[in-house]
Structure formats: structure tokens, C-alpha cells
Amino acid sequence: MAVFTVGFIFTAILLTRGLIVLFPVTPGKIPLDKIPTSWILLVFLDQFHNFFLVNTDLLPFELRPLFYRCLGTKMGRNVRIGGFIADPSLVTLGDNANLGGRCALTCHVVEGKSVSLGTIKIGKNALVGAAAMIGPFVEIGEGAVIGGGSLVTKGTIIPPGEIWAGNPARCLRKRET
């Protein structure tokens, strides 16, 4: 079973990484009738990885940073990932960033007759709570905290050191240092 699991994970990483290198994902707006086949395949592989490897805990918590780094996520040292990342090549995580269990970082959103692809940047020492959802074009500042189950909507910029929570997320207060 262990050999199968390692082989499965390795194959999934190679296939996805190859597609990312050949067809890089870039931020922007794409009409639904002009979505590249390569991006559709990448989204399918993302969902496949997230469902079979991350959500089933087949991929151990300790290996998730390495897994997402291999899929193109830019990250600092000592990052912890308890949730999943869609469109990992558009995500940047700072040193000591902590993503709680079952949280979701999604760099795309369908709006009317188009798909918007945007980056997500999470600063150093930031914490995203369990089951929180982070949308595209979001920046979370250094030391900021996002409460569990919160929804950070498209384009939100969270300043360093603030605590946000809710649906949609709003600033509750400045973090004590």
C-alpha cells in the first residue's frame, strides 16, 4: 500500500508540474467560452489531488508544504498547511504561515460569463483558521488572523496584525503584540 501511495503522489505531482511548466497560469479574466483546455485540466488535477490526497488525509500533514511547493506554491520556511489550495502556482505563503484544517485557498471565481484568476498572498506569521475560505486577489498581512469558518472575499486586503472573522470577513480588532 505504501509503495502505491508514494507512486500515486509522485505521478500526480509530475503530471501537474509538467502542465504548469508548459502552460503557466497567469492572473486575469477569461471568458467562459475561451478557457484554455490546459487550465481545465489543471483544475481537474487540483480537485483530484485535493479530494484523494488532502481531504482523505492520504497525504500526511507534514508533507503538504513539500507537496504544494512541488505544485508551484511559493512559500517561506516553517509553513503549516492543514487545508487545501486550488491553483497552487498563484499562491504565496510567508514564513511561519499557518493554514488551519479544512481551510480552502481558491485563486479563481466565476463571475457572469467569465472566470477571474488572481493571486493570494499570505504574510509571515499569519494564521488562517479552520474551514476558512480565501478568494482570489486577496492579501493577508504579516501576523494577521482569519477566524475559523470565515469567508475572505475577492480583492480583500487585510493589513498586518488585524483579526478578521465572519461571512464575509470583517475586521474585529487590531491584534495585541
Q: Note the pLDDT tens digit of each residue in 69-82.
A: 988 999 999 999 99
Q: Note the pLDDT tens digit of each residue in 66-115.
A: 989 988 999 999 999 999 999 999 999 999 999 999 999 999 999 999 99
Q: Percent of the chain, pLDDT > 90?
A: 65
Closest by CA to 39, choosing from 54, 21, 14, 19, is: 19
Active site residue 108: yes
Strands 28-31, 114-117: pairing is antiparallel
Which of the residues 65, 108, 122, 125 is marked catalytic? Answer: 108
Rounded Cα distance, 117 and 106, in Å = 9
Q: Is 48 in a helix, a strand, or coil? A: helix
CATH of domain 2-174: 2.160.10.10
Rounded Cα distance, 118 and 91, in Å = 9
Rounded Cα distance, 82 and 130, in Å = 8
Q: Note the pLDDT tens digit of each residue in 119-167.
A: 999 999 999 999 999 999 999 999 999 999 999 999 999 999 999 999 9
Beta bridge partners of 24: none
How long is the chain? Answer: 177
Q: Residues near 3 by Cβ (< 8 Å), separated by ≥ 6?
A: none
Rounded Cα distance, 111 and 81, in Å = 28
Rounded Cα distance, 124 and 140, in Å = 9
Rounded Cα distance, 103 and 53, in Å = 15
